[in-house]
Chain A
Amino acid sequence: MQLELLVSKFQSKDEKAFEALYNMYSDSMHGVIYNIVRDNDIAEEVMQDVFIKAWHNASSYSAKKGRFFTWLINIARNAAIDKTRSKTFKNSKKNLDATFFVDILENQDNLNSQTDAIGIKKFVKKLAKKCIEVIELLYFKGYTQKEASKTLEMPIGTIKTRNRNCINELRNMLDVSP
């Protein structure tokens, strides 16, 4: 089924469409959320919050504003970051600022059932630190190009081309076709 049609049905509260979209993106959202909160139970909790929020705010999505995936990952990142700012989370968790998504991939012996897990692990091993930083900030943390530019102390143009090159490496590794 066409993504546009699925999204349209989802926006008119079609449960089947909702489930189909969930199955398409849930692992990705779970990965992003887990990378931020670093706790299975909290990640599960945030996952529920994200998809409940998506259902309720489905009408706010518009293709003009971006990809549906982008809309969803934005909700996930924001919900996870909100969680890390909550009092209870701060009391129980150490400072996570220095951690990156690659830690999870490197430390995970069993990358669940993802068929591309091995490829991604290889990719991460070969990945230059500059790639890790930029991917972490742009995709996992949801930084804007300006925020990334400021954090990494490099011009927006450099961020763009560096990110482009890093994602190309990833695509070559995964042999991605849509």
Chain B
Amino acid sequence: MTNKEYIESGILELYVAGALSEAENEAVYQKLLKNPDILDEVLKIEAAIIKLTAATSPTDSKYIFPAVKEALGLNTSDSQVVTLPRQPKTNWLAYTGWAASVLLAGGLIWLLNQNRALQTEIKTVEAEINKQHIDNQLLEEQIHTARANLKEANKLLDVIRDKEIIAVPLPGQDVYPEAYAKVYWDKKANTIYLDAQGLPEPPRGKVYQVWSLTLSPLSPTSLGTLDDFANDDNKVFTITNTNASEAFGITLEPAGGSETPTMEQLYTLGAVQTTP
């Protein structure tokens, strides 16, 4: 039997199928060892059968091998590669990352809002502080003024109480009997303090003029006009007086004052009492 006849007999197909007896198998094997063309035929038959039978496999069967290795206790690192997930698993790391990002963004927005609210609050507080500061300044000024007023009042009080100071009452005269004034004369300081609170407000265009008088002979000396009478709160005027005054008088004069007193408009007059 030639090799061709041997091949055509169909024995090799049965050999691959495993349908021959043990004796027949060994006989074919001996032929294969000596005849490469027969071996080649066997390989081709085998390849075709493998493809045919593999076509009826319902799924790719590679995924089963890890279970086989595990059952055999052959878990090498290589098999771990094979056991890598066949189905993509949920990427929890990525999801967690995204969730964290969203939370972070939310947190940032919240912080920004908080910051904005705080800044508004700070501005409000700053404005209040400023207002308070201004108020404080006003208060300080008032205190300052009050202190100054007190100081002035005290000074006046001192003047009035000072034994060395001569008090000269100036009663009202015919033209305006209700008028009243008083002079406190500090001879050492050459100063008089005129309390003119009892004088009415001068008419428009008129001023009070203060006179120092010597009686014999009667001669008046102007001590000046009370220009700011209306605006002076306490109506106490400090005036320099270097004269040896024997009396003081106040007349109403045209604005700017006069050379000599207009006796018809003499409001108050008082003589200095000689010290005993």
Residues of chain A touching chain B, judged by Cβ–Cβ distance below 8 Å, are: 15-16, 18-19, 22-32, 34-35, 40, 43-44, 47-48, 51-52, 55, 63-67, 69-71, 73-74, 101, 104-105, 108, 111-114, 116-117, 120-121, 135, 138-140, 142-145, 148, 160-161, 163-164, 167, 170-171, 174, 176-178
Contacts and interface: CB of A to CB of B under 8 A. Distances in A.
Contact of B48 (A25, A34, A67, A174): A174
13 contacts: A18-B74, A23-B65, A25-B50, A26-B64, A31-B57, A34-B56, A48-B64, A66-B25, A70-B17, A105-B55, A111-B55, A135-B52, A163-B17
B40 A73 contact: no
Contacts of A32: 53, 56
Nearest to B24: A145
Nearest to B40: A178
Given A48-B71, A70-B18, 9 more contacts: A19-B65, A27-B57, A28-B50, A32-B53, A67-B42, A117-B55, A139-B17, A161-B10, A176-B51
Contacts, number: 184
A69 B16 contact: yes
Contact of B64 (A15, A47, A142): A47
A142 B52 CA distance: 15
A32 B64 CA distance: 15
B19 A138 contact: yes
A17 B42 CA distance: 22
A135 B71 CA distance: 33
Interface residues of chain A: helix, strand, loop or mixed (majority): helix
Contacts of A67: 15-16, 42, 46
List 3 A-B pairs, minimum CB-CB distance, nearest first.
A164-B10, A178-B43, A160-B10
Interface residues of B, number: 51
B131 interface: no
Contacts of A121: 55
A174 B13 contact: no
A94 to B, nearest CB: 18
Contact of A178 (B17, B18, B44, B76): B44
Given A31-B54, A70-B16, A178-B44, A164 B8 contact: yes
A105 B54 CA distance: 11
A108 B45 CA distance: 24
A172 to B, nearest CB: 9
